Structure 1
Amino acid sequence: MDTIHFRIDEETKRLAMLAAKRQQTDLTKLMRQKAEELAEEERDYQKNTYAFWLESEIDKAIARSENRQNTFISHDESAQRIAALRLKLSGDSVE
């Protein structure tokens, strides 16, 4: 488990320690709990952000299909495009 260090002023530390004592725990446990809560919030945010993006992309694709704005290509053409893109991304292409 990693360690986190941060600086706070003495008054903040004193009050935080009193709050921890009132909750019958120590400041380290409270800070760990808060960090875990923040991490869980971030997990939810990332999950929901991805779900929102994916749903939006699906909706756009359905709308394009319904409006007959899609362009379909053969498997061979798709394979050629992917090969060209891989070549370009690898830096081996000559322009």
Structure 2
Amino acid sequence: MTTIHFRIDEETKRLAMKAAERHKQSLTELMRQRAEELAAEERAYQNSANDEWLEQQINQAFSRYDEGKGEFVSNDEMTQQIDTLKKLASQGKL
């Protein structure tokens, strides 16, 4: 856990405390809830950005393949290549 400190004017503090009372929560609890909501929003945004990046990469790969610039590698071939790379990595040869 960490602590956040920030400054607000007295009127804002007074009104925020009244709003917290109306919600039957402390101002600290309400601010923690708001911070958690912002964090959840940012997580969703970052996940969305990652999904967009992945979709772009997939589309680019299909475009290269359609243009004859790519090659198909079967699952068996790829598994064999990965196993070879893992073996070389474990031997410190990469």
Q: Specify if TM > 0.5.
A: yes
Q: Which runs of 5+ in 1 are unaligned?
A: 80-95
Give me the CA root mean square deviation.
1.8
The whole-number CA distance in structure 2 between the counterparts of 1:22 and 1:70 is 62
Paired residue for 1:15? 15
Give the Cα separation in 1 of the matches to 2:51 and 2:36. 22
Counterpart CA distance in 2 for 1:16 and 1:44 is 27
Q: Distance in 2 between matches of 1:3 and 1:60?
A: 44
Secondary structure of the equivalent of 1:8? coil
What residue number does 1:59 align with? 59
Mapped to 2, the partners of 1:59 and 1:16 lie a distance apart of 48
Amino acid of the structure 2 residue aligned with 1:50:
N
Q: Per-residue deviation at 1:69?
A: 2.6
Superposition deviation, residue 44 in structure 1: 0.7
Q: TM-score, normalised by structure 1?
A: 0.72
When normalised by structure 2's length, the TM-score is 0.72
User: Identity, % of aligned pairs?
Assistant: 56
Q: Distance in 1 between matches of 2:22 and 2:70?
A: 63
